[in-house]
Structure 1
Amino acid sequence: MALAAYRFDGEARVPRYYLGVDGGGTNCRVRLADEALVTLGEATGGRSNLQIEAGEPAYRSILEGAEAAFAQAGLPASAMAETACVFGMAGGRLPSAREAFAERDWPFAALEVFDDIDIARAGAHGGEDGAVIIVGTGSAGMAIIDGVRHQVGGWGFHIGDQMSGAILGRELVRRAVEAEDGLVPGSGLTRAVIDRLGGSLDAVMDWSFQDRRPADYGALMPLLFDHFELDDPIASELMALEMSYIDLYVKWFQARGATRLAAVGGLGTRLYPQLIARYGEFIVPPAHEPLHGALIMARQIFGRA
């Protein structure tokens, strides 16, 4: 929705409230804030990936979460008409998906829909220039450099997500199977994976045929880190593979003039010791979480007459 359409009583005005949404594949977080971005209410809803059922579950999750946040703040539902929103949505890589979602019937004064990495970057750098990588079940990268937006990756488990826990977990299962077959040397980690997935190659194959999702592979990351801390050779080999993928992204950002990079996501957070050791001062901690990044963006976009 364009800013020009954002009017009260025929007069363009700054919104009284801002609503930020961090729409993930597993759950949806909604936060209501005042003009100073002080939290007034917050709620958590169901899954909200735009690629699931054409965004219908996400639509319901946001509306239910918004109602709960306004109620928590002691505000009537009519206050939604004085509220500007930014949604950062999983599955929002495709412009057509974001545009279709924005055109739904919303009760808010104004809104814009972004990919989830946009709000992650805004939160990580407080709305200022900088780069971010999301390294969780999936992975992607994005930067704002001298006001120009640069995005890379985020194409999903089947054709991308090189840095992700899902891809690393799938490679871990592959190595465990090869080791159990006697094709390559095994380790405590590969044996632990076989045990986790049923105790035999037959059981692992059966597990793999059960419509496995990226999160099923990503769930093996704690096991990998536990063995990495024990100097397990396969864990070290896979960590080196992970860092080689991150190298590609770091070089891509630096070639475009980025001077700082933050990492978010469960795997990204756990990688901070390795990231700092490898890239030094180029790595910075996130200033804020992605949900606050959505509020920062809402005020940047709509917080002017």
Structure 2
Amino acid sequence: MMAYYLGIDAGGSNCRARLAAEDGTVLGTGSGGSANTRIGFPELYATLSETAYQAIRQARLDDTQIAEVHAGIGVAGYGRQGASEALRAFDFPFASVAYETDAYIANLGANGRAEGAVLIIGTGSVAHVRKDGRSFTIGGYGFPISDEGSGAALGLSAVRHALRALDGRTKSTPLSSAVTARFDHDTASVVGWMDEATPRDYASFAPVVMDYAEADDAIARSIVEDAAQHIERFIETIFQRGANRCALVGGLSQRMRPWLRERTVSRLSDALGDPLDGAIDLAKRG
């Protein structure tokens, strides 16, 4: 029987799947919503299953072929206590399922089978390094205590500024007005939203922050410049820890890149592939 390889990238904002044949031909893809371990394991299983079966349905695999699928799944929050055991209890009808962090598969995708590092700047932020046979992360402890330089961090700073502007502690700017406009400029509405807000919700403000920073809004610029400093410190630490190359990836990475110093950008390498390439490589490794 022919083997099939399913790669899944389960991140804080979205979940993506890619199904490939043995020769690398892409047979199907899938996409879903938030898929980190913080949403709860029943919810995570549902998202992983639906995203995987979107790709499988596109490929028109029957039950016999599904049993020949080898899956590699990178999950945000995989390192949390008890997560590994809970994930391995998931009942998928595949030949094998290998789990790792989303940072690990991003590293595999960005650097191929060679050792190296990756810094992911998306909803959250985390660095992953493979060096001398070792694999470790830097940062990535979760929002709000970590995720420096990320979309969620940008959004949190923007909401803080907007609330201060509403009660008069700081001057209103176009950024603060754009943020509070989502809540009809009502403080109580912001606070009510905050009680239920997820990192993805905060990260939804990141494009607004970037837009106004690029338009020279003083507060937006200060928020983005602070984020850039955190990203540069990440990159410095990656090389101090022995990495020989580092790729900057993630949904916010390209917009943040112009805010980094030229000497920092010059140290970065282009990614050879994406996290789904890494997830498929993980599936092949078993």
TM-score, length-scaled by structure 2: 0.88
Superimposed CA distance per residue, residues 119-138 of structure 1 (whole angstroms, 9 cap, x where no aligned partner): 11111223422211222222
Partners of 2:169 and 2:101 in 1: CA distance: 42
The alpha-carbon distance between structure 1 residues 77 and 225, as it changes in their structure 2 partners (threshold 3 A), is same
Q: Could you tell me how far 1:116 is from its partner in structure 2?
A: 1.0
1:58 is matched with: 44
1:282 equivalent among 255, 267, 282: 267
Partners of 2:191 and 2:50 in 1: CA distance: 40
Which piece of structure 1 moves more, 217-226 or 255-264? 255-264
Partners of 1:105 and 1:194 in 2: CA distance: 44
Q: Does 1:148 align with 2:148?
A: no
TM-score, length-scaled by structure 1: 0.83
1:24 is matched with: 11
Structure 1 segment 86-125 matched on structure 2, within 5 A = 86-94=72-80, 96-125=82-111
Partners of 1:63 and 1:192 in 2: CA distance: 37
Q: Could you tell me how far 1:202 is from its partner in structure 2?
A: 4.7
The alpha-carbon distance between structure 1 residues 66 and 175, as it changes in their structure 2 partners (threshold 3 A), is closer
Partners of 2:207 and 2:49 in 1: CA distance: 34
Whether the aligned pair in 1 keeps the contact of 2:103 and 2:126 (CA below 8 Å) is yes
2:118 is matched with: 132
Whether the aligned pair in 2 keeps the contact of 1:275 and 1:283 (CA below 8 Å) is no
* Cα RMSD, aligned residues only: 2.5
Q: Does 1:267 align with 2:252?
A: yes
Q: Could you tell me how far 1:222 is from its partner in structure 2?
A: 1.6
Q: Could you tell me how far 1:23 is from its partner in structure 2?
A: 1.8
2:283 is matched with: 298
Three-state SS of the structure 2 residue aligned to 1:266 is coil
Partners of 2:213 and 2:219 in 1: CA distance: 8
1:11 is matched with: none
The alpha-carbon distance between structure 1 residues 103 and 124, as it changes in their structure 2 partners (threshold 3 A), is same
Whether the aligned pair in 2 keeps the contact of 1:37 and 1:295 (CA below 8 Å) is no
2:28 is matched with: 41
- Which structure 2 residue ranges, 5 or more long, are not aligned? none
Q: Could you tell me how far 1:29 is from its partner in structure 2?
A: 2.2
1:184 equivalent among 152, 166, 170: 170
1:232 is matched with: 217
Partners of 1:64 and 1:175 in 2: CA distance: 38
1:5 is matched with: none
Partners of 2:171 and 2:228 in 1: CA distance: 22
Structure 1 segment 212-251 matched on structure 2, within 5 A = 212-251=197-236
Give 2:244's aligned amino acid: T
Q: Could you tell me how far 1:73 is from its partner in structure 2?
A: 2.4
Partners of 1:204 and 1:59 in 2: CA distance: 31
Give 1:234's aligned amino acid: I
- Which structure 1 residue ranges, 5 or more long, are not aligned? 1-7, 9-14
Partners of 1:171 and 1:96 in 2: CA distance: 31
Three-state SS of the structure 1 residue aligned to 2:105 is helix
User: What is the total number of aligned residue pairs between the two structures?
Assistant: 286
Partners of 2:235 and 2:172 in 1: CA distance: 31
The alpha-carbon distance between structure 1 residues 225 and 64, as it changes in their structure 2 partners (threshold 3 A), is closer
Question: Which has the greater radius of gyration?
Answer: 1
Structure 1 segment 166-205 matched on structure 2, within 5 A = 166-205=152-191
Whether the aligned pair in 1 keeps the contact of 2:76 and 2:102 (CA below 8 Å) is yes
The alpha-carbon distance between structure 1 residues 74 and 252, as it changes in their structure 2 partners (threshold 3 A), is same
Partners of 1:17 and 1:208 in 2: CA distance: 43
Three-state SS of the structure 1 residue aligned to 2:135 is strand
Give 1:231's aligned amino acid: D
Three-state SS of the structure 2 residue aligned to 1:237 is helix
Whether the aligned pair in 1 keeps the contact of 2:116 and 2:131 (CA below 8 Å) is yes
Which piece of structure 1 moves more, 158-167 or 114-123? 158-167
Give 1:77's aligned amino acid: D
The alpha-carbon distance between structure 1 residues 144 and 232, as it changes in their structure 2 partners (threshold 3 A), is same
Give 2:108's aligned amino acid: A
The alpha-carbon distance between structure 1 residues 51 and 234, as it changes in their structure 2 partners (threshold 3 A), is closer
